[in-house]
Homo-oligomer: A and B are copies of this chain.
Amino acid sequence: MKLIPDNFKKEIEIRIDKIRKEMMEVSSDAVLLGSNSNIYYSSGRFFRGYVYIPLNNEPIWFIIKPTVFDKGDITFIRKPEEIITILEERNYPIPSNLSLELDDLSYSNILRLKNIFPDSKLINGSTILKRARMVKTSWEVEEMRIDGKHHTKVYGEIKNCYKPGMNDLALQIEIEKKLRLEGALGVSRVSGNLMEINLGSVISGDNADNPGPYEFTMGGSGVHPSLPVGANNSKILKGQTVMVDMNGAFNGYQTDMTRVWALGEISDLAIKAHNCSIKILKELEKVSRPGFPVKNMYETADKIVEADGLKEYFMGHKSQVSFIGHGVGIELNEWPVVTPKSKDILKENMTLALEPKFVIPHIGAVGVENTYVVTESGLVNLTEFPEEIQYF
């Protein structure tokens, strides 16, 4: 079997070109990739091994296991120390400025790789890959569009998952099963140890205001101190909301999507805040075009919130965060991050999850999250699904 099927070769070439463009920005003459997400990005599948991408020679896929691929495409090794011999055999120059994934691989892993290239200066390859992956290829956007279709289809079944008297976790478990039956792979790939999640989060009522240790917009205290996030076994109560932020991840790519359900009537304030979230998204859909600064997206949202007098509830109540969105793709938390301090500029084919949310005390969380692709004419929604509050 070929590591890279013929009909995928062109796509890999495009990605390698994108990586090389970022390498040139930081004067790196080679990257050596070994993290799960970047192996997947640069190969189209996960294997144990490394991808070596020099600026001026053909890339080499070094595979430890599984040893099932045709030798034409790839090079089998038993350990990374063999890489240097193979480069010498092929008359590849030893890189002066070698990029390794300093944010993604452990210190021990990096030290081992660094020792293979004792004379090379070290550059942060994590940043190179984050920048390259920030703008998706058309193929990737199409994968995310497919992911979004599965994702929204499952959201259409959420109302049927609810049974009177249910608690938040029981509802989440029903949704998880629907996601899995629709093809969700069962793992949400995240970057770094500050995110840790099962298949997403269902947050009901007061639990929305329980702050957590992770980098999620909403916390929730979880059901166990080893994983303090999301549903906490609260009964879904009349007059409260249930925020469903469950995960896609059907095909190696992810969309991120939140909708709100409520049981019985909820307060006018909660409805106002939810409608404010929709207003923010509608405005952002229009103004966010290639060339628009990411920080202006945050400011646009902030102004609408201020005009509506809802600042004290925005992005949390007891504990607030100052970001309203993030890149999404192979990992749930990619670049750019939509904060007031962002220095990024929107580019065509960036994919962004935007999630202006509010926490209303004693009612719960409200707001909408969609995953968008940036196009010449504004944001295109990959997670189209009714945005108003729905009722169980």
0/1 string, A219-238, CB within 8 A of B gives 1: 10001111110000000000
Residue of A65, A192, A211, A330 most packed against chain B (CB within 10 A) = A65
What B residues does A319 contact at CB under 8 A? 65-67
A38-64, CB < 8 A from B: 40, 44-49, 64
Q: Are A198 and B224 in contact (CB under 8 A)?
A: no
Q: Are A224 and B185 in contact (CB under 8 A)?
A: yes
CB-CB under 8 A for A227 and B46, given A173-B180, A186-B198, A198-B187: yes
0/1 string, A92-135, CB within 8 A of B gives 1: 00000000101111111111000000000000101000000000
What B residues does A144 contact at CB under 8 A? none
What B residues does A126 contact at CB under 8 A? 108
Say how far A207's CB is from chain B's closest CB, in angstroms. Answer: 13
> How big is the A interface, by class?
35 or more
Q: Does A377 contact B (CB under 8 A)?
A: no
Residue of A45, A100, A102, A213 most packed against chain B (CB within 10 A) = A213
What B residues does A214 contact at CB under 8 A? 48
Please classify the interface of chain A as helix (H, G, I), strand (E, B), loop, or mixed, using the class held by over half of its residues. loop
What B residues does A67 contact at CB under 8 A? 211, 319
CB-CB under 8 A for A36 and B193, given A46-B213, A46-B226, A251-B224: yes
Q: Are A36 and B196 in contact (CB under 8 A)?
A: yes
Q: Does A307 contact B (CB under 8 A)?
A: no
Q: Does A252 contact B (CB under 8 A)?
A: yes
Q: Does A9 contact B (CB under 8 A)?
A: no
A1-57, CB < 8 A from B: 34-36, 40, 44-49
What B residues does A183 contact at CB under 8 A? 223
Determine how many copies of this chain the complex contains. 2
What B residues does A225 contact at CB under 8 A? 40, 44-46, 252
What B residues does A251 contact at CB under 8 A? 224, 226
CA distance A110 to B214 in the complex (A): 19
CB-CB under 8 A for A186 and B176, given A40-B226, A103-B106, A108-B102: yes
Q: Are A211 and B66 in contact (CB under 8 A)?
A: yes
Say how far A64's CB is from chain B's closest CB, in angstroms. Answer: 8
Q: Does A354 contact B (CB under 8 A)?
A: no
Say how far A105's CB is from chain B's closest CB, in angstroms. Answer: 6
Q: Are B185 and A228 in contact (CB under 8 A)?
A: no
Say how far A344's CB is from chain B's closest CB, in angstroms. Answer: 20
Say how far A188's CB is from chain B's closest CB, in angstroms. Answer: 9
Q: Does A177 contact B (CB under 8 A)?
A: yes
Q: Are B68 and A211 in contact (CB under 8 A)?
A: yes
Residue of B nearest to A191 (CB): B106
Q: Are B48 and A226 in contact (CB under 8 A)?
A: no
CA distance A189 to B227 in the complex (A): 10
CA distance A110 to B105 in the complex (A): 11
Q: Does A304 contact B (CB under 8 A)?
A: no
Binding site for B on A (CB under 8 A): 34-36, 40, 44-49, 64-68, 100, 102-111, 124, 126, 170, 173, 176-177, 180-181, 183, 185-187, 192-194, 196-199, 210-214, 219, 223-228, 251-252, 319, 330
23 A-B pairs whose Cβ atoms sit less than 8 Å apart in the complex:
A46-B225, A46-B226, A47-B213, A48-B213, A64-B213, A65-B211, A66-B319, A67-B319, A100-B107, A102-B107, A105-B106, A108-B124, A173-B181, A176-B180, A176-B186, A185-B198, A185-B223, A185-B224, A185-B226, A185-B227, A186-B198, A187-B197, A187-B198
Known: A106-B107, A227-B252. 18 other contacts (CB 8 A): A35-B193, A40-B226, A46-B196, A46-B225, A46-B227, A47-B213, A48-B213, A65-B319, A66-B319, A102-B108, A103-B107, A105-B106, A107-B111, A170-B181, A173-B177, A173-B180, A187-B198, A187-B227
